[in-house]
């Protein structure tokens, strides 16, 4: 294995791209602020059991995709494959539910899944997630959808669609589970190995299977929405009314079950027309039983996670979110020796004021330095030669307007003011 290649399914974010990431992060913070979500940061790894219990033993993620290892103290540790279970753990451990409810939290950071890498599917990827804990109000389900949509819109993204379903609660799922087992029984031999294994343990997981032959069988499977109990049906109709009220178009997808066991009632996915097979740019749902499952008080909750790489891919293919690449505020050209020393002093003074100042480190000719300043797109240029050094004054040139001004090199207040004014 070449030392110069990164592990499969990972990415470097290099200058030129990072500006877009930072701009997106800023938009995320703006939209979270508007919706009243506070940031929470959890460790990159957790005890494996958190995910086994939280996400569910019979899910693809837990069965096949986790980066799990034993640490030197013989504990089983897992790199977080998602952010909801860790956030719920942190909510309980830090007693965040002791004040007024709901508690609205967001996170942003890397997740790890051992998946087959392809465009838009990585082994390390970034999620922005928002979670609201402590309310069963369907209005909160809809706000949880509205928040990422506001983000997508603020980035200028178009061509996405919300898919919506309700998968009920443990009480309505009992009858549905029986119906599913009954439906799949005659097809058992044609199901993939994983589905055969899950049929008794968790038949709803079969609906999520990506194997083509299984998907063909699923087409005629009974749909959960026909088995919802009165409370779940009422909740779902509340969600749809608020979506209508908000003017958020959506498509009902009764086959949307999502790959986590913690979901109850509302589930949703947002798909982009810009992406190929990995077209979900975000997804989420309600998880009213998870806080209790992890060891807290019964607490209804709902959340959503945006796949940041996929969102950026979709935006790039639409030519949106172009971060401007500003150049330095000032380029200081010099003739080496004492003139370089003076340039270094001026640079140091201006940098402490937060201005971006560049200078030459290779003792190149002034002509070459001017070329470098141009290439970097520096706003101002100042040349320090022997005369400038002797007089302690130099001419600063605004490369945009062509205007020039003579400034002191001893007391650089004037220079700081000229360059700083344009940096605002
Ligand atoms: P998820 O559907 O597994 O849900 O992931 C959410 C989003 O993360 C996906 O829609 C996709 O954009 C992105 N994503 C997932 N896997 C990958 C990957 N391998 N490579 C690149 N992007 C990926 C969750 O993780 C839930 N925790 C969402 C949630 C929050 N539910 C409630 N609250």
Query: Does the predicted TM-score (pTM) go above 0.95?
Result: no
Angstrom CA distances, 382 to 328, 335, 357, stand at: 12, 12, 11
Six-digit token string for 169: 């609660």
- Check pLDDT > 90 for residue 259: no
Lowest model confidence (mean pLDDT) among 30-44, 134-148, 216-230: 216-230
67 within a domain of the structure (yes/no): yes
Mean pLDDT value of segment 172-187: 90
196 within a domain of the structure (yes/no): no
Same domain, 289 and 396: no
**Per-residue pLDDT at 58:** 84
Task: Give backbone dihedrals phi and psi of 118, rounded to 5 degrees, phi first.
Answer: -160, 180
Give the ligand 1 atom nearest the CA of 127: 8
Dist. CA 419 → ligand 1 center (Å): 45
- Check pLDDT > 80 for residue 424: no
Distance (Å, rounded) from C-alpha 376 to C-alpha 113?
39
For residue 362, give the CATH number of its domain. 3.40.50.800
| Contact yes or no for 224/176 (Cβ under 8 A) | yes
State if residue 113 touches ligand 1 by the CB under 6 angstroms criterion: yes
| Contact yes or no for 361/346 (Cβ under 8 A) | no
Lowest model confidence (mean pLDDT) among 99-108, 209-218, 262-271: 209-218
- Check pLDDT > 80 for residue 318: yes
Which residue has 């209005």 as its token pair? 139
Question: What percent of the chain stands above pLDDT 70?
Answer: 100
Domain end marker among 317, 342, 368: 317
- The structural domain count of the chain equals 2
Same domain, 394 and 251: no
Which are the contacts of 9, defined by CB distance < 8 A and separation ≥ 6? 115, 117, 121, 122, 123, 124
- SS3 state of residue 339: helix
- SS3 state of residue 185: helix
| Contact yes or no for 64/114 (Cβ under 8 A) | yes
Torsion angle of C-alpha atoms 378, 380, 384, 385, degrees rounded to 10 = 90
For residue 134, give the CATH number of its domain. 3.30.930.10
Mean pLDDT value of segment 285-308: 98
Six-digit token string for 1: 């294995």
- Check pLDDT > 80 for residue 423: no
- Could you count the other beta carbons within 10 Å of the beta carbon of residue 323? 14
b/e string for 56-78 if b means 16 or more Cβ within 10 A? bebbbbbeebbebeeeeeeeeeb
Nearest CA to ligand 1 atom 8: 307
Distance (Å, rounded) from C-alpha 82 to C-alpha 59?
13
Taking only the tens place, the pLDDT of each residue in 17-50 is 999 999 999 999 999 999 999 999 999 999 999 9
Distance of CA 339 to the CA centre of its chain: 47
Give the ligand 1 atom nearest the CA of 129: 30
State if residue 80 touches ligand 1 by the CB under 6 angstroms criterion: no
133 within a domain of the structure (yes/no): yes
Domain end marker among 294, 317, 340: 317
Taking only the tens place, the pLDDT of each residue in 64-81 is 999 999 999 999 999 999
Same domain, 301 and 364: no
Same domain, 310 and 380: no
Distance (Å, rounded) from C-alpha 12 to C-alpha 276?
22
Same domain, 266 and 373: no
Dist. CA 70 → ligand 1 center (Å): 25
Give the ligand 1 atom nearest the CA of 121: 20
Instruction: pLDDT band for 289, please (50, 70, 90 cuts).
Output: very high
Q: Which 8-state DSSP code applies to residue 220? A: T
Kindly give the pairing relationship between strand 280-286 and strand 264-272: antiparallel
107 within a domain of the structure (yes/no): yes
- Check pLDDT > 90 for residue 206: no
Mean pLDDT value of segment 51-62: 93
407 within a domain of the structure (yes/no): yes
Give the ligand 1 atom nearest the CA of 131: 33
- Could you count the other beta carbons within 10 Å of the beta carbon of residue 43? 11
Q: List helix spans (H) across 130-169.
A: 138-154
Domain residues for 47?
A: 18-169+229-317
370 within a domain of the structure (yes/no): yes
Kindly give the pairing relationship between strand 357-359 and strand 330-334: parallel
Best of 60, 275, 310, 315 for a ligand 1 pocket test (most atoms within 8 Å of beta carbon): 310
Same domain, 97 and 151: yes
Mean pLDDT value of segment 186-212: 86
Same domain, 279 and 392: no
């Amino acid at each position: 294995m070449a030392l110069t290649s990164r592990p499969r399914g990972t990415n470097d974010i290099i200058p030129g791209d990072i500006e877009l990431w930072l701009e997106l992060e800023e938009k995320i913070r703006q939209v979270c602020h508007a919706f009243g979500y506070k940031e929470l940061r959890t460790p990159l790894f957790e005890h494996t059991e958190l995910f086994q219990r939280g996400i569910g033993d019979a899910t693809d993620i837990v069965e096949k995709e986790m980066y799990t290892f034993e640490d030197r103290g013989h504990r089983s540790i897992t790199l977080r494959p998602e952010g909801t279970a860790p956030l719920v753990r942190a909510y309980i451990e830090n007693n965040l539910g002791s004040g007024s409810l709901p508690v609205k939290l967001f996170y942003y950071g890397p997740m790890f899944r051992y998946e087959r890498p392809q465009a838009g599917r990585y082994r390390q990827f970034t999620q922005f997630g928002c979670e609201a804990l402590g309310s069963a109000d369907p209005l909160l389900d809809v706000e949880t959808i509205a928040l990422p949509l506001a983000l997508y819109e603020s980035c200028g993204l178009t061509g996405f669609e919300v898919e919506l379903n309700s998968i009920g609660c443990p009480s309505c799922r009992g009858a549905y589970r029986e119906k599913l087992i009954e439906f799949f029984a005659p097809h058992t031999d044609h199901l993939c190995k994983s589905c055969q294994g899950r049929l008794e343990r968790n038949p709803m997981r079969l609906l999520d299977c990506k194997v083509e032959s299984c998907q063909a069988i699923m087409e005629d499977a009974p749909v959960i929405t026909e088995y919802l109990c009165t409370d779940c049906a009422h909740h779902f109709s509340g969600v749809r009314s608020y979506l209508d009220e908000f003017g958020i178009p959506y498509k009902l997808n009764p086959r949307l079950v999502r790959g986590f066991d913690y979901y109850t009632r509302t589930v949703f996915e947002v798909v982009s027309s810009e992406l190929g097979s990995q077209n979900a740019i975000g997804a989420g749902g309600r998880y009213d039983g998870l806080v209790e499952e992890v060891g807290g008080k019964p607490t209804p909750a709902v959340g959503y996670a945006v796949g940041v790489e996929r969102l950026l891919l979709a935006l790039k293919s639409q030519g949106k979110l172009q971060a401007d690449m500003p150049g330095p505020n000032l380029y200081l050209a010099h003739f080496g020796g004492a003139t370089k020393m003076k340039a270094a002093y001026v640079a140091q003074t201006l940098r402490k004021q937060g201005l971006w100042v560049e200078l030459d480190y290779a003792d190149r000719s002034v002509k070459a330095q001017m070329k470098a300043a141009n290439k970097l797109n520096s706003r101002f240029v100042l040349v320090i030669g022997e005369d400038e050094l002797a007089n302690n004054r130099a001419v600063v040139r605004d490369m945009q307007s062509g205007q020039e001004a003579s400034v002191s090199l001893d007391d650089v207040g004037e220079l700081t003011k000229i360059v700083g004014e344009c940096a605002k």
